[in-house]
């Protein structure tokens, strides 16, 4: 599988990324086009597309900080879900970056969200108990509660505070 970095909206894979992105996340969890342009300008931000035999399989958008990596968005194209690609991509990502990986998931309210937590735990993630509100991407939206998951181990309170500051002051700067 090939990993291709998308660095701007003009990249040939960007339209396919955007299609998978908008199909995979509710509107209130999506960057606007302007926010995406701003993310591309940050030295911390990366957007990697996973391609097999010239077919777009999925993507990971992430922020690479000194002591950890924050996966902002991760999705597999709907045609390839349930075939092991999600686990494969996360395993490869974890090996390549070799840092604590942090991501967020929705609170457990139904079978889908319970299965999502089960998937990430199977991939080596630990649940963290800090009450966490993700800032809104759009003015008309509210902050929303999410569960913080990390690789290697649960993070300390100081590490959580650093993530929260990075999220508000770097990731979500509009």
- Each of the 174 residues of the chain gets a pLDDT tens digit; together they read 999 999 999 999 999 999 999 999 999 999 999 999 999 999 999 999 999 999 999 999 999 999 999 999 999 999 999 999 999 999 999 999 989 999 999 999 999 999 999 999 999 999 999 999 999 999 888 999 999 999 999 999 999 999 999 999 999 985
- What is the rounded (10 degree) CA torsion for 46, 49, 50, 52? -150
pTM above 0.75, yes or no: yes
Q: Identify any residues that bridge with 133 across adjacent strands, giving them in sequence order.
A: 145
- Residue 174: predicted pLDDT: 57
Determine which helix (DSSP H) or strand (DSSP E) holds 92, and give its type and residue range. Answer: helix 85-97
DSSP states along 8-51: STTSTTHHHHHHHHHHHS-GGGS--HHHHHHHHH-TTEEEEEEE
Sole residue written with tokens 């309210």:
109
> Pick from 36, 59, 68, 60: which is nearest to 166 by CA?
68
- Residue 139: predicted pLDDT: 86
Distance CA 118, CA 144 (A): 21
- Residue 140: predicted pLDDT: 87
- Residue 173: predicted pLDDT: 83
Distance CA 44, CA 5 (A): 13
Q: Identify any residues that bridge with 69 across adjacent strands, giving them in sequence order.
A: 64, 101
Structural domains in the chain, sorted by start = 2-171 (3.40.630.30)
């Amino acid at each position: 599988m090939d990993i291709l970095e998308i660095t701007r909206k003009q990249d040939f894979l960007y339209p396919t990324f955007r299609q998978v992105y908008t199909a995979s996340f509710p509107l209130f969890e999506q960057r606007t086009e302007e926010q995406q342009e701003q993310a591309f300008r940050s030295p911390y931000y990366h957007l990697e597309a996973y391609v097999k035999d010239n077919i777009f399989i999925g993507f990971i958008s992430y922020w690479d900080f000194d002591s950890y990596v924050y996966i902002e968005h991760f999705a597999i194209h709907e045609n390839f879900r349930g075939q092991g690609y999600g686990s494969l991509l996360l395993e490869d990502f974890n090996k390549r970056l070799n840092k604590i990986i942090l991501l967020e998931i929705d609170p457990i309210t139904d079978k889908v969200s319970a299965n999502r937590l089960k998937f990430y735990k199977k991939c080596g993630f630990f649940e963290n108990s800090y009450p966490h509100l993700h800032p809104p991407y759009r003015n008309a939206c509210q902050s929303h509660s999410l569960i913080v998951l990390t690789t290697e181990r649960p993070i300390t309170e100081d590490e959580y505070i650093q993530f929260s500051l990075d999220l508000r002051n770097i990731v979500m700067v509009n």
